[in-house]
Structure 1
Amino acid sequence: MHFDNVNSLVGRIGVRFAQDFGAPTWLTGAPSTFTAWVRPNFWYEFLGDPKTKFSSATGFIPFAADMGGTTFEINTGFTTDIGNGAAIYANASYLVGIGEHADGNAYDGKLGVKVAW
């Protein structure tokens, strides 16, 4: 198996719509904020053209994947402060290829705790 060097140049244009809400605090006396958002994004891969070669009895067999083109992403999530510099966050995304050769989609999600000290 042989891998060629891969070059990638990705551009993104998008916007974030967010709203802050007051929320009940989890710790007595601690301020709490709940922020929800939606982010639509368009991504464009300018250079994505990776190549891999597999060895066989007759030599290397090339395999190429055209990763270039446009992708649309919709991302939504929230962050809520729980006091003492800590926050809980979650988000989910859906991505879908756009265009003549686009035939895939993807899902992504995250859940976590952020602590600042």
Structure 2
Amino acid sequence: MPGARAALEAALALRPETGDLLAAGATLNNLAAVSSAQGDPAAAVDYYERALAVRRQIEDVAGQAHTLYNLGILCTDLGDFGRAEIALAEAVTLDEQCDLPQISRDRKALLEIRSRRKRT
């Protein structure tokens, strides 16, 4: 996977030249996933936050919901349940507003995190 991260970083470096913000958001989201898989959660959170900012800028609602879900799951894994709940709740809101297909998955994750928070 080290090669994947380097390739994604190289692709991201080209995005300003092409002006393709949709691809930049996707690349940042993928970099976050790779960083998480490589055991670098701090970098993953940073990449997810950057992806979310780009996706908000271009009003990519489906992309925002996807990134928020991923961020919520990562924060759950890190034990940051408050941040996870905020991200997942926003993902569900976007899912509902746009009737996105992942709504059931996102609702389930939100209910699970709320249940965990009640137990702690």
Give the structure-2-normalised TM-score. Answer: 0.23
Larger relative contact order (Cα-Cα within 8 Å, sequence gap ≥ 6): 1
Which structure shows the higher helix fraction?
Answer: 2
Give the structure-1-normalised TM-score. Answer: 0.23
